[in-house]
Amino acid sequence: MEKNTIEKSLRIANILDRTIIWICHKASWLIAILMIVIIFQVVLRYVLHKSYVSIEEIQWHIYAIVIMLGLSYSFVKDSHIRLDVLHTNFSRPLKEKIEIIGILFFLWPVIFIFLMHSLDFVAESFRVGERSDAPMGLGYRWIIKSIIPIGFSLLYLGSISRLLKAIHYLKFNNRKK
């Protein structure tokens, strides 16, 4: 029965990973759109001597989406930066234990703080019909602000996946000995 539970948790982790990777691969097309918007703005500014605040804001919105979704993608792909120089010298079981501790005691509290505050942040923006302070800026500011809870929710799902994999490894590794 325990092996069935362990295998089920690994299947859940893989489903979470595939879902996050699928979402982020779809969102990666925003980088191509961002390049087009930047080129368009450069041509407008330096060739036609015109400037539009809304185009500049679109750039920042796309940057925000890519960065917020990129957090979960890099976590799932285990390509995030590790500041621990000693990490490379640790054994795999120790790395997994550190990963579990890091997720539970450092990452999850940060995620929950951001989620807790960002939901009110988005709701208030929606309630007041917030728009850009710039006269010709974009409206519906709540749409871009909603990327914050979406991004951190995906990071939370990615951390669940990573946690399940670390636990799976430790349980499987202990069984072999």
**What are the C-alpha distances in Å from 129 to residues 110, 142, 143, 149?**
28, 8, 11, 18
CB atoms within 10 A of CB 166: 21
Question: How many CA atoms, within 13 angstroms, populate the side-chain half-sphere of residue 122?
Answer: 14
pLDDT of 89-123, one tens digit each?
888 899 999 999 999 999 999 999 999 999 999 99
* pTM summary value: 0.88
Structural domain harbouring 158: 2-176
- Cβ 149 vs Cβ 119: under 8 Å: yes
- Cβ 70 vs Cβ 52: under 8 Å: no
pLDDT of 2-59, one tens digit each?
667 767 888 999 999 999 999 999 999 999 999 999 999 999 999 999 989 999 999 9
Count of domains forming the chain: 1
